[in-house]
Amino acid sequence: MKTTVSTHKLPGYGATLRTAKRLTIEAVRIVNRSVPGRMPDVEVTLTTERGMAELSAAADLALAGTADRRATRRAVSDGKHTAREAMARAVPRPDGSVLVLIIADKHPTEAEFAVTLVHELVHAMQFSRTGVIERIVRDTRAGLGIERQSPRHAREHLRLLRQEEHEAMGREYLAGQLVPAAAA
């Protein structure tokens, strides 16, 4: 299990990067102990909203295994929408690792960053469970218009997605072990 922390198109955030590295090392250890699954290699990238849209689209296209024009346009559009709505996102990669994208400007305090980091690392642990990656790839390919997904599979994916999100939100209390202010 290898963990890297970096920035993407985010100059002048040296102190934030150092804090993120310190918190990520501890968060990986804590989440690995308390959540079922196996922690994959994780790359945490601090970025801007625009950078998240760009990296998110590239990760979706890599996961789907295609790069035709229509799928690329949809991936870019979905990436922009996700970047506007979300504070962070965990994306599985074809090689089995996980990319965690975090918008640095949406996390003004260490406590908020710790909560988001723990949440996304729980998702990374969920990706290691049986059948999860295959389901995510199938849904990503359907979302990009590459291949159709049966209505039954789509409903099942949404049900499991809600369940996984509920689990991740339920584990956010672990951030209190990283930063005491996050427990409040």
The answer to whether the beta carbons of residues 127 and 40 sit under 8 Å apart is yes
pLDDT of 184 strictly over 70: no
Rounded-to-integer distance, Cα 113 and Cα 19, Å: 10
Rounded-to-integer distance, Cα 13 and Cα 103, Å: 12
pLDDT tens track for 73-112: 999 999 999 999 999 999 999 999 999 999 999 999 999 9
Lowest-pLDDT choice from 59-73, 110-124, 164-178:
59-73
Q: What is the pTM of this model?
A: 0.95
90: left (phi over 0), alpha (psi -120 to 50) or beta: beta
For helices 132-143 and 49-64, angle between their N-to-C axes, nearest 10 degrees: 110
Tokens of 21: 């590295």
What pLDDT is stored for residue 180 in this prediction?
A: 85
pLDDT tens track for 27-60: 999 999 999 999 999 999 999 999 999 999 999 9
pLDDT tens track for 129-182: 999 999 999 999 999 999 999 999 999 999 999 999 999 999 999 999 998 877
